[in-house]
């Protein structure tokens, strides 16, 4: 059984396809946010509270 036939969007109900698409989008944004916060790009981020200490 191929993966493409198992998760074929054409055989899904429209509401199910919409839920899957929204879920994939939210999961992608979450993974990108975690990578940006804790991965190598986090070295370029600055802490605004440390920049303006009194």
> Cα 47 to the chain's mean position, in Å?
23
HEC per residue, the chain = CCHHHHCCHHHCCHHHHHHHHHHHHHHHHHHHHHHHHHCHHHHHCCCHHHHCCC
The reported pTM is 0.63
pLDDT tens readout for residues 1-54: 566 666 666 777 888 888 989 999 999 999 999 998 888 888 887 877 877 776
Question: What distance in Å separates the CA atoms of residue 2 and residue 17, rounded to the nearest whole number?
Answer: 19
């Amino acid at each position: 059984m191929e993966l493409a036939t198992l998760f074929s969007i054409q055989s899904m109900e429209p509401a199910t396809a919409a839920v899957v698409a929204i879920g994939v989008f939210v999961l992608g944004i979450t993974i990108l946010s975690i990578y940006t916060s804790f991965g190598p790009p986090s070295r370029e981020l600055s802490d605004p509270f440390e920049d303006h200490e009194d």
